[in-house]
Structure 1
Amino acid sequence: MRLNDCHNFHDFRRLARRRLPRPIFDYIDGGADDELTLRRNSESFARCDLVPNVLRGVSEVDLSTTVMGQKIDLPVYLSPTALQRLFHHWGERATAAAAERFGTMFGVSSLGTVSMAELSTRHSTPQVYQFYFHRDRGLNSAMMQAAKDSGINVMMLTVDSITGGNRERDLRSGFSIPFRLTPAGIAQFGLKPAWGLNYLLREKFSLPQLDAHIDMKGDALTIGRYFTEMLDPSMNWDDVARMVAEWGGPFCLKGIMSVEDARSAADIGCAGIVLSNHGGRQLDGSRTAFDQLDEIVQAVGDRMDIMIDGGVQRGTHVLKALALGAKAVGLGRAYLYALAAAGQPGVERMLAQMTAEITRDMRLMGVRNIRELIPQMLRFR
């Protein structure tokens, strides 16, 4: 199987599975506990039908939108995800370059493997910095200042990860950073020698967003311990309100799921929220973002920009979210599988296919721009 054989989400997933050692693939692929929420994220879109209009004159289709003051050419963006150079040695460099080519926004994680400063210098498209709330308040301020110094306009605080989810696939393989693999996990790496050579012979793996502030090397700290020891489970709305004021620009909360929390985010001055259950990787049994979208848009859609992520695999999924009032839709596994499959060409192929799907589907729906997508075009089973 080659990149040219990849025509959809599932094809990229299959090719990624062939390229990656099983523990690395499972880190991308897996969810928490019984993985119920992981499966329901995509299934939620299947319970919604599109009702197209015809004879609307749709020779020209405009996919652009504005999110938290950032104008982008597509209504999808590349969500911030951790550890990308484990999936392909280009990592975030491939992701950012592909996003720039398609004129869309990309996010850089606190657990990213390329520095936000380097990416901001190289690429002109909007960049979002995603970070976590630490026990050390000075560290939080230092990380925000580093983002300002890098020229980043939008901060995205993840609020659903004050502790790590129970990801049992990782427990079975022993996956962690640094590696603490079980014997079965080690054997899986031996079956993918090309990945191992890239990991050993190319640029040394690092976490540059954190390396300046935390010792993440050697035996000092695994990713699991980072979540359990460094992040602050006592975080509350007053803490976040102070961060919003300190940042002084567009501030977004990722991981909001209830109407009450959405209203609180608007009250403290957030420019946007991402409805998200962290791709089914945190609280198993959580409601899906798509199922929560309508009531949250009805409650606060006139006060801030609403985005969603989780389970998005098709252009029709994007149209359904936009019709309910989402300003943009975040992609996660969709581009990570493509990255693992073929680096930058993989991510570009995925984005090209997503762009073609959205364009074609909008024509079939009889709409010329995403503002013409409205709830009346949907029916729920």
Structure 2
Amino acid sequence: MAEHFNSEFPSVEHLIRQAKKRMPGFAFDYLTAGCFGEVNLDRNQKDIRDVQLKPWYLRDYEGSNLKTELFGKTYDAPFGMAPVGLQGLMWPKACEYLAQAATDHNIPFCLSTVSTASIETVSAITGGDFWFQLYHPAEDKLRDKLLERAWESGCKTLVILADTPTFAYRPKEIRNGLSIPPRMTMRNILQMCTRPTWSLGQLMAGAPEFKTMKPYIPAGLNMKHLGLFMNKTFSGRLTESKIAPIRDQWKGNLVIKGVVNPEDAELAIKHGLDGMIVSNHGGRQLDRGESTIRPLARLAPEFGDRIKIMMDSGIRSGADVASTIASGAAFTFLGRTPMFGVCALGKYGGHHTFEMLKKQIQQVMEQVGCESVDRLPEHLVG
């Protein structure tokens, strides 16, 4: 595999600055914003960065290995691509680019129900080796069709979403017309005119669409009615009565995303789930909730031997990945950072970002004298 690391952009902060120069303001806001005053968005990052690691300098050390086993498959690093909705709005063909990059780097790629590439397209890119995140439909018939398509496309790990029971109050999206129903403002049009690379890419790729959902969307809907249709189609809140039939139908790995308390963790185990992702939807849903690293640190010791515990939300760098693993996660997922990579650098931005993250994790492990990912918790400062 060719290396695509660009030394001009060695950190996520460099990628963010470059992405902002290339994206229309409304697209950049959609990628970066949280809800309400973005308190939880900031708390997620701050609390991860407060985690401290202790080095062992005088022990024998033979080098570090990033390979990590998850659900019977060995990945080249302890992180994967988190599900992100409307990826193609933020950068043309972003979903396809990131699926290819994840495949080339042998890390998991998780496709959102509301992304801009279809299940079948991502299956073709990944050779069927991908995860699928299900936004729970209001109708069982649609749920079953989506699960059948995912399974037939080779997906063996299904992620069911618990942390979006309602549409969030996101002031930036409301102002930019990206709420439900959506609207296109003159300000958005002017922003597109000042970002010719983005606009030309959209022209070539075609307008962003909910490609997985396209077969079920009535033809000819305008933006307003499409938004209302999507709002009606997904019921949001995940309950025990909704989990049970999914567990009965899905024969692969079943993961729940959004668990932050022991009561929900017990229910996940009760229903035979294989994993849970501690998540608060990237700080985009509950502004006054906890950061993800704090419940992770409580849940991992109590439930880590009964269910695979992972985490997303707030993880931006390789150092953050190391801190999260040290705090008890078996695996991690990042959404915004790889998106910044593609928005900043285009087609090979995902390759650059995954290479950057690997280099950063490698440096941390070498510095503290940690030989394998599963031993990072031994380096946690209590």
* Cα-to-partner distance string for 1:136-185 (whole Å, 9 max, x where unaligned): 11111110001011010000111111221111101111125896123323
Match of residue 381 from structure 2: 379
Q: Give the TM-score normalised by the residue count of structure 2.
A: 0.93
Match of residue 259 from structure 2: 256
Match of residue 172 from structure 2: 169
| 1:226 shift after superposition | 5.2
Match of residue 323 from structure 2: 320
Out of 209, 212, 215, the residue aligned to residue 209 of structure 1 is 212
Match of residue 299 from structure 1: 302
- Alpha-carbon distance between aligned partners in 2 of 1:178 and 1:339, rounded to the nearest angstrom: 27
The secondary structure found in structure 2 opposite 1:252 is strand
| 1:201 shift after superposition | 3.2
Unaligned runs of 5+ in 2: none
* Cα-to-partner distance string for 1:58-117 (whole Å, 9 max, x where unaligned): 343211112233321110100011112222222221101111121101111111211222
8 Å contact kept, 2:181–2:225: yes
8 Å contact kept, 1:52–1:377: yes
Match of residue 92 from structure 2: 89
The secondary structure found in structure 2 opposite 1:26 is helix
8 Å contact kept, 1:38–1:280: yes
Structure 2 counterpart of 1:39, which letter?
D
Alignment of 1:13-24 (within 5 A): 13-24=16-27
Match of residue 56 from structure 2: 53
Is residue 38 of structure 2 the alignment partner of residue 38 of structure 1? no
Is residue 89 of structure 2 the alignment partner of residue 118 of structure 1? no
Out of 257, 271, 282, the residue aligned to residue 279 of structure 1 is 282
Runs of 4+ that moved beyond 6 A: none
Match of residue 76 from structure 2: 73
8 Å contact kept, 1:38–1:311: yes
RMSD of Structure 2 on Structure 1 (CA): 2.1
Out of 192, 197, 205, the residue aligned to residue 194 of structure 1 is 197
The secondary structure found in structure 2 opposite 1:5 is coil
Structure 1 counterpart of 2:379, which letter?
M
What is the aligned length?
378
Unaligned runs of 5+ in 1: none
* Cα-to-partner distance string for 1:216-240 (whole Å, 9 max, x where unaligned): 8632666753564222255411211
Does the C-alpha gap of structure 1 residues 234 and 188 become closer, same or farther in structure 2, counting only changes over 3 Å?
Answer: closer
* Cα-to-partner distance string for 1:187-233 (whole Å, 9 max, x where unaligned): 22222123222212334432221012233863266675356422225
- Alpha-carbon distance between aligned partners in 1 of 2:16 and 2:80, rounded to the nearest angstrom: 19
Is residue 354 of structure 2 the alignment partner of residue 354 of structure 1? no
Structure 2 counterpart of 1:41, which letter?
N
- Alpha-carbon distance between aligned partners in 2 of 1:30 and 1:142, rounded to the nearest angstrom: 32
Moved more, 105-114 or 55-64: 55-64
* Cα-to-partner distance string for 1:261-292 (whole Å, 9 max, x where unaligned): 01110110111011000001111111111111
Structure 1 counterpart of 2:297, which letter?
D
Q: Percent identity?
A: 27
* Cα-to-partner distance string for 1:280-323 (whole Å, 9 max, x where unaligned): 11111111111111211122111111110111122221112112
Does the C-alpha gap of structure 1 residues 224 and 290 become closer, same or farther in structure 2, counting only changes over 3 Å?
Answer: farther
- Alpha-carbon distance between aligned partners in 2 of 1:162 and 1:223, rounded to the nearest angstrom: 20
- Alpha-carbon distance between aligned partners in 2 of 1:362 and 1:216, rounded to the nearest angstrom: 53
- Alpha-carbon distance between aligned partners in 2 of 1:177 and 1:371, rounded to the nearest angstrom: 43
| 1:125 shift after superposition | 7.6
Match of residue 310 from structure 1: 313
- Alpha-carbon distance between aligned partners in 2 of 1:217 and 1:279, rounded to the nearest angstrom: 33
